[in-house]
Structure 1
């Protein structure tokens, strides 16, 4: 005894069968198979070229792993005799990140207003502002620090300037994106009362965006603490200076202590930054 299906069920089954037929037909299409084969060939060639340019050598890796194991064995036990010095250098690193990030955030806010298409007071400066931010973002803080070491001499101040310039471009770009994606209803409402553009931005737009802007600033502070640990390699002070000295002297127990200290501090800052961002958003 056959069970008759309602018309809606028959239509649904027919629609599903038609969709499956189209899918299978598409897969069997010679043109689609040819495009997929061409894409696979392009990817193979691209990654083969990258392999050559990166000079990947698995034989060297296999030969070097025993050396790495020997160095790790020499790193134990860690050398804690200079722990007060390491703590001071780590403090310099955190100070560089804090000052550089704060200066960058303060500079980024007015630049973000200028680089936001929906609220910029000078539309003709929109693209030049964006180009400047792209230039600052395109040069790493490591390179900036190297340049400022030549300008202001060795020490953490060069690191502060390097971090500030790179973070200025990166943070301002993110600020501008947040502003462009925000609704301008409150801003226009305040403008209708006769308030100026600057007053409307300060009292109508920024209060709504402040939590996400502060969260972005915290992210960059956390990132800069990690990034500034290597600025000492170019003479910009901080824990990176001791890290480089230990590597130059092949003092692996001292190097292990420095790396362990960096990991502990960065982990704690990650937790603190994450907790603060949750409270802001």
Structure 2
């Protein structure tokens, strides 16, 4: 299967500044790109490309005096197996002392995932009776999927896992933050993922296409995909970036006043 991905994003700025973006496909999917990506800036602006501490592809765009807006466009074809997310009901939970050291940061509290809050006791009260490993993580996803009501109208970029838990509403990042926090509270390493997820094999969603958020947990000596928002295996996830939470993987970050003028995302099966 080939999946067509892309975006068209425009930001208006008022002064010289810099823009950091994470908008390219993650290196782990680079070999699936058919002919590479076609990232285009509206102006010939100097760009520094680099990998961050999590292995994500990042870029800094230098915006000089006289430039009032920056428009970023991209399009690509990505090969995908067309299979839903793998399921491994037997994936076991590791004792914390036996976890690979590189997974340990994904047990700790982070900007949007307050493991050291009332959610710690709630997690043990609610999920300690579930079998460790895959069944326990699935029980957490089932709870988050039921507890939060998806509502674009109530989206807020500063909402934390604890606030989402108390408010009972949010968007995909809020589902993801709450599920990650509960997993970490139960000593399961969990990391945040942002990327493309189109309506492939499911009815089209009744709202504009956007980037999506889901998470991965470390069980049975590997990372596994979970999605508390949809709570069912999906086809066609294309990772852009991974981190501790959304603070580590901003799609764009401008160091100064700016206004979002355009935001369009495409991810769909390429037919014909």
TM-score (norm 1): 0.24
Which protein shows a greater Rg? 1
Structure with the higher fraction of residues in strand conformation: 2
Where relative contact order (Cα < 8 A, 6+ residues apart) is larger, the structure is 2
TM-score (norm 2): 0.24
